[in-house]
Amino acid sequence: MFLPAVHSEPDRNVLLQFIKENPLGILITGIGSSQHDFLQCTHALFVLDQPDESNPPRHRAHIAKQNPQVKAMLETVDDKPPGVLQLDQDVLVLFNGRHDHYVTPKYYTETKPDTGKVVPTWNYSAVQVYGKLSLYYDSRTPEAGEFLAKQLHDLSEHTETSIMGYTGGDRPEPWKVADAPERYIELMQRNIVGIEIEIRTLQGKFKMSQEMRPGDREGVVKGFAELGGDTGMAISALVKERGELHDRMKQEKV
């Protein structure tokens, strides 16, 4: 990811919260394989384990056992340990923000009428994670079976409550893994593998017009607000927020 200083987000807590709010990640690997492509990617929902002083942050997911990316991973080790495989090389996971959009030069109400030296762009936010991957590939082993059971429980709890808002009371009750037949869940677990990634490098980018002149930023904020809808209002707010943060940081350096 290209990370100009003006777009980079260095706050680790902000980046971890971003992952919690945008759990659909793209797992990317580069693995030499005799049968599968070197570069593989898979969309997966991740659960973040919050870090503490003694443990690095980790995030977890599960994907289909028949996925070519899994087969390429398993091919890297001849003598596999029971249930858990650790890859030697780092993997990359990319998380995209919920809202992104094209930015027309017409929004630049300061520079466009002044010099005309403006071009279109695209506003977006993203976080990327590099880390070491452990693959829990055999649900019949105690370690992998326990990991997958916890993964399915934690993921459904997070998505049902945090994303759907199913918290009970005045809201609907959340769906639970226990609502499905036990035998059915066992069969499902045999067809998936668990993924755990120890986060070693965490980088984030908010490209939200913060580098533009104040009048241009105001034009972008107004333009997206007038565009309306969830995306228009969200980006309008983000441009305003990121612009103010940029100005504060710039003032502090002065």
Range with the poorest average pLDDT among 7-11, 31-35, 241-245: 31-35
Non-local (6+) Cβ contacts of 246 within 8 A are 6, 210, 211
Q: What are the φ/ψ torsions at residue 169 (nearest 5 degrees)?
A: 70, -120
Task: Identify whether the C-beta of residue 245 lies closer than 8 Å to the C-beta of residue 252.
Answer: no
Task: Identify whether the C-beta of residue 141 lies closer than 8 Å to the C-beta of residue 31.
Answer: no
Model pLDDT for residues 209-250, shown as the tens digit of each residue: 999 999 999 999 999 999 999 999 999 999 999 999 999 988
Number of domains in the chain: 1
Q: What are the φ/ψ torsions at residue 220 (nearest 5 degrees)?
A: -70, -45
Residue 195's domain is classified under what CATH number?
2.30.110.10
In a domain, 234, yes or no: no
Model pLDDT for residues 95-143, shown as the tens digit of each residue: 999 999 999 999 999 999 999 999 999 999 999 999 999 999 999 999 9
Task: Identify whether the C-beta of residue 206 lies closer than 8 Å to the C-beta of residue 3.
Answer: no
Using the 8-state DSSP alphabet, how is residue 163 labeled?
Answer: I
In a domain, 115, yes or no: no
Helix, strand, coil percentages in the chain from 3-state DSSP, rounded to 5 = 40, 25, 35
Task: Answer positive or negative: Cα dihedral of 223, 225, 231, 234.
Answer: positive
Query: Which residue segment(s) compose the domain that 80 sits in?
Result: 12-104+120-211
In a domain, 52, yes or no: yes
In a domain, 78, yes or no: yes
Cα radius of gyration rounded to whole Å, the chain = 22
In a domain, 49, yes or no: yes
Q: Encoding tokens for residue 47? A: 């659960």
Mean pLDDT for the chain? 94
In a domain, 144, yes or no: yes
Beta partners for residue 193, in sequence order: 63
In a domain, 194, yes or no: yes
pLDDT value at position 56?
81
